[in-house]
Structures are given as C-alpha cells and as structure tokens.
A = this chain, B = another copy of it.
Amino acid sequence: MKATAVAPSNIAWVKYWGRRNDALVLPTNSNFSMTFGPTKTNPEGMHTTTTVEFSDAFDMDTVIIDGKEADRNAYDRTVAHLNIIRGLAGVNYRFKMESRNNFPYGAGFASSASGGAAEAYAASEALGLRLSKEKLSVLARLSGSGSAARSVHGGWVMWQKGEREDGEDSHAIRVFDENHWPDVRVLATVLDDKVKGVRSAEGMKESVESCPLYALWPSTAESDLKRLIPAIERRDFSTAGLIAEYNCRALHAIMLATREGPKDRPLIYFAPETIALMKQVHAWRAEGLEAYYTIDAGPNVKVICMKEDEATLTDRLKSLPFVKNVIPTQPGPGARLADEHLF
C-alpha cells in the first residue's frame, strides 16, 4: 500500500481568488493555468514528488516535507485530506507521507498546487483506488489548495467552477495539451525566497469578507477567461499575454483593497522589488521586447515571453540586482505515477 506521484506546479493566467464554499473549496470563478513543464535549460521543471504509504503497522500519521517534519498547519491539512481518501477507500490505516519540492516552498510558486495533486494521486493509488482524471482533480481540490485541481492535467487547464453543491463538477479539464503551443515560456523569477506571510486560502477569505471591490472580481475573471481561451487557441501571444497581465493586476488590486487581513495586517503580497520588476517589464515592452508578467499570492514575478526572447530576457532579468534566480518553464505534462519511492 505504497505509491509515489510526481505533480507539476502551474501558473494561473486567470486567477482563482475566493471561495463560494470554504469547506468544499468551491471557487467563485472558473480559472485557467499553464502547467509547468521542463525546458532545455531546466530539464527538471518545477514539481513535487510525494510518496504515501498506508500500513496497519504504523501507529500514527507522519508528514515529512522537504526532509523535515511538517509544521502543525501543514500536518493538519494533510491528515484532513488523507482522511477523505481513507474514507473513499473505506480503510483507516495510518499513513506515512513524504514530499519533496524542487523549488522554493511557500513563496508564491504554487508548491501547494503541485503538492496537493501529488498527494491526492499517490494516496489514492496506494489504496488501490483507480480514479478518473476528473475525480482525481476533485480530490486534489480538496487538499485545501484549490489550484491543485489544475496540476492533475498537462498543458492549458481550466478549473471549471461547477454548479453542483457537492462540488463533484468543480474540477479541472485540459483545454489544450502541452504540444499545442510549446514556444511559450514562463520565467519564474525569484526575488525573495522567504516563506510568505499569509496563506492564499486565508488571504482570499479576507478578500471575500472585507474587500469592498470584491463583488466585481468573479465577473472580471470570467470575462478575462472568455477572451483568453480563444487567444491561446489561435496562439495570439500579444492578446494572451496582456490578458494574463491585466488579470494579475486585478487580482492584486483586490488584495490591496482588502481591509482586514489576518492580525490586522493588510494583504499586500508585493515586495518593493515586485513593483520594480513590473515597471521593468513595462519598460522592456515599450522598447519592443515583448514580455508580460503574472504574479500569484507572493512577491515573485513570472515573466511570460516567447521562446525567441527567452535568452535575452533571462540575461536581463539576471542582471537586475534584486533577482536571485530565474527558472524557465514551458507547457508540460500533468501529474504522473513514479516507480521509485522517496522512502
């Protein structure tokens, strides 16, 4: 009763921010992402590898992340998630889970997305459940990090918000596979690898409750999504890049206008360097180097470009004094099972 899964991270081009049902992780808007795959210069990609073993010999649940015992919050989330999977299989064995990220943990690189998908896949496989990709996506969603629902699939992925109250239709679907438009690059630019202050799940709850502009977020995102999908279908980089950037700025506007953050702190994910890099991308674009950006709930910036500009942009990004690292990605495959285990 042991299995290992590898799941990629992903980056939303139309963001997920806010739940209509907190316990079931049902979003207020459909959203859309590119699954992170390896590139020539980054053959590893950005992913989480997770091994889960169930055994009646274990007398407690164990959670190891990046070689260390998980903190209380991460432990509780994992146990709650695997309780759902134990329930589906009708067993109550204790588990041991070990998870490794090949990129910075908790700094806006959606390690919770790849982690949640890998966890759902490894655990359900270890218990012999043979789930469809759709059911696996529902289960990944229930990891607590909704965007995990998208990491199940490769390529260009839409998490459809669904209509059902039980959430069974709120899962991701693959809209275009990873071979549809392989020349797109997302350069994940590390400005600051400190763990961010407020988890997305908490932050979006604060926005729903106390952002006076929030009511217009779901329709803004749905409208961006409706324009983005045809742009990606026809491989129209200028339109798709600009929509991604617009949607990211609308997301951060919602965060900025959120009134009560946890512990009376505001919900500002930008670092000073985030603003500097956004302005830099605009300046490059003004001089004809076509690049856009998108930013999740953290300080780091993902620079979107086409393959032909990857080398130039990587050099320019690395020459900025506040950039620590640049990790290239392109559309890649979804979660998969692995033969070798972590323990």
Binding site for B on A (CB under 8 A): 212-213, 215-217, 219-220, 223, 246, 249-250, 252-254, 256-257, 259, 263-266, 268, 270-276, 278-279, 282, 286
A151 CA to B131 CA in the complex, in Å?
Answer: 68
Across the interface, which residues of B come within 8 angstroms of A257, CB to CB? 213, 220, 249-250, 253-254
User: Which chain B residue has the least Cβ–Cβ distance from A285?
Assistant: B264
With beta carbons under 8 angstroms apart, the residue of B220, B249, B263 that contacts A266 is B249
A259 CA to B249 CA in the complex, in Å?
Answer: 9
Across the interface, which residues of B come within 8 angstroms of A215, CB to CB? 216
With beta carbons under 8 angstroms apart, the residue of B212, B223, B268, B279 that contacts A279 is B268
Cβ of A86 to closest chain B Cβ, rounded Å: 41
With beta carbons under 8 angstroms apart, the residue of B246, B256, B266 that contacts A282 is B266
Q: How many copies does the complex hold?
A: 2
Q: Are B275 and A268 in contact (CB under 8 A)?
A: yes
Across the interface, which residues of B come within 8 angstroms of A256, CB to CB? 249, 252-253, 256
Across the interface, which residues of B come within 8 angstroms of A282, CB to CB? 265-266
Q: Are B250 and A212 in contact (CB under 8 A)?
A: yes
A41 CA to B217 CA in the complex, in Å?
Answer: 46
With beta carbons under 8 angstroms apart, the residue of B246, B265, B270 that contacts A275 is B270
User: Which chain B residue has the least Cβ–Cβ distance from A272?
Assistant: B272
Cβ of A285 to closest chain B Cβ, rounded Å: 8
Q: Are A250 and B213 in contact (CB under 8 A)?
A: yes
28 contacts between A and B (CB under 8 A): A212-B219, A212-B223, A213-B217, A213-B257, A215-B216, A216-B216, A220-B257, A246-B259, A249-B256, A249-B259, A249-B266, A250-B257, A252-B256, A253-B254, A256-B256, A264-B286, A265-B282, A265-B286, A266-B278, A266-B282, A268-B275, A268-B278, A270-B270, A272-B272, A272-B273, A272-B275, A272-B276, A275-B275
A215 CA to B278 CA in the complex, in Å?
Answer: 26
Across the interface, which residues of B come within 8 angstroms of A266, CB to CB? 249, 278, 282
Q: Are A213 and B253 in contact (CB under 8 A)?
A: yes
A223 CA to B259 CA in the complex, in Å?
Answer: 14
Cβ of A83 to closest chain B Cβ, rounded Å: 36
